[in-house]
Amino acid sequence: MRVPWKLLGLAGLAGVAATGAAVARKRRAQREYSPDELRERLHRRLAEASGDAEPEPPGGTARGAL
């Protein structure tokens, strides 16, 4: 049986291109956050998950003040 190498190579190239396009589309959909903004969002999500009304302010006793 003779394998059509050109066809196999083109199929592989198309697969790589499709994967790259899907990754690029997903990356564009993500938003870049500044460190402060990301920290605020994470504190808010933690407060919502634990049922607290308000997140603890940074530098509070939760960080193990000595």
Indicate whether 65 pLDDT > 60.
no
Q: Which two tokens stand for residue 45?
A: 């999500």
Integer Cα distance of 12 and 61 in angstroms = 56
Mean pLDDT on 37-65: 74
pLDDT band at 56 (very low <50, low <70, confident <90, very high): low
Indicate whether 66 pLDDT > 80.
no
Phi, psi for residue 53 in degrees, rounded to 5? -75, -35
- pLDDT for 51 equals 82
pLDDT digits (tens, 9 = 90+) for 10-49: 999 999 999 988 888 877 666 778 889 989 999 999 999 9
